[in-house]
Amino acid sequence: MRLSTVILPIHRWGEGQKIWRRAEDLGFHAAYTYDHLSWRSFREEAWFGAVPTLTAAATATERIRLGTLVTSPNFRHPVTLAKELVSLDDVSAGRLTVGVGVGGAGFDATALGQQAWTPRERADRFDEFLPLLDRLLTEPATTSEGRYYSAVEARNIPGCVQRPRVPFYVAATGPRGLRLAAEHGQGWVTYGDPRGPADVPVAQAPDVIAAQLGKLATACEAHGRDVAELEKVLLQGSTAEKPLTSLGAFVDWAGTYRELGITELVIHWPVPESIFANDLAVFERIATEGLAQLG
């Protein structure tokens, strides 16, 4: 099992670079950031772009993997996103992981002036978005005409440092998304029950993940793929569980999900006076000692 962190893009870089470097020093496997234009309770506060933040982080670190968790079609187009990802993979010397998902109905959904898409429309778009992004990152020139997304002789030379392309971690819980994870993913991401993860009782939260893992295995089997090939990533912070209150709480939480088959846990870097207001000293102890306690 690996342990990673999410660092929100809320810090001016003079301060932010210290956090990304500290994440590397603490030994995290990866440091991700959210790819939004603004996000929930942080909407009226500082919020910077994901790709510039990750590019800066790539130049400030040497070993830690970097990535989005997650990017989506809400305000992205595969052609321009692919160009940015090829560039970021180059700057990071092949340390980029691309978390990608269908997107939600938050602020990003209408920031470009469009009406918010229905769940079915989001799924339809993602069904076209992800395969085209895959092609754009693996082919030197791509032409494709779709209902929502097209590319005409789109060039991505020299391509990704990582071959055949940067890894995709696909956030999905429904059948179409799980199929896309099986077809295109090197990893799968969940945060719990999409219908209302914070409302699921603590005792039932592992059962939700276990059921999702079962559906992922079924999707992989239907695609002729071994589910063991995919990393299984659990993003902390959207359930009633409180694994960052103490080292012991983390060890119990991590052990539960390791037994279920989760291979990477992602915990939020503490942000004072927010929903992520955890004790930094406890957080750093979890980072350095937590997984070792599992034995």
Per-residue pLDDT tens over the stretch 4-57: 999 999 999 999 999 999 999 999 999 999 999 999 999 999 999 999 999 999
Stretch 115-143: mean pLDDT: 96
Do the beta carbons of residue 64 and residue 97 sit within 8 Å?
no
Is the pTM higher than 0.85? The answer reads yes
- Check residue 26 and give its pLDDT: 98
pLDDT at 128 over 80: yes
Report pLDDT digits (tens) over 167-210: 999 999 999 999 999 999 999 999 988 877 677 889 999 999 99
Stretch 77-103: mean pLDDT: 98
Retrieve residue 276's tokens: 């992520």
CA-to-CA dists, residue 28 to 34, 88, 132, 138, 245, angstroms: 17, 20, 31, 28, 19
Instruction: Name the pairing type of β-strands 151-155 and 141-144.
Output: antiparallel
- Check residue 239 and give its pLDDT: 85
* Residues in the chain, total: 295
- Check residue 37 and give its pLDDT: 95
- Check residue 205 and give its pLDDT: 93
Mean pLDDT for the chain? 96
Task: Give the count of beta carbons closer than 10 Å to the beta carbon of residue 47.
Answer: 17
Residue 34: exposed, middle, or buried by beta-carbon count in 10 A (0-12, 13-18, 19+)? buried
- Check residue 83 and give its pLDDT: 98
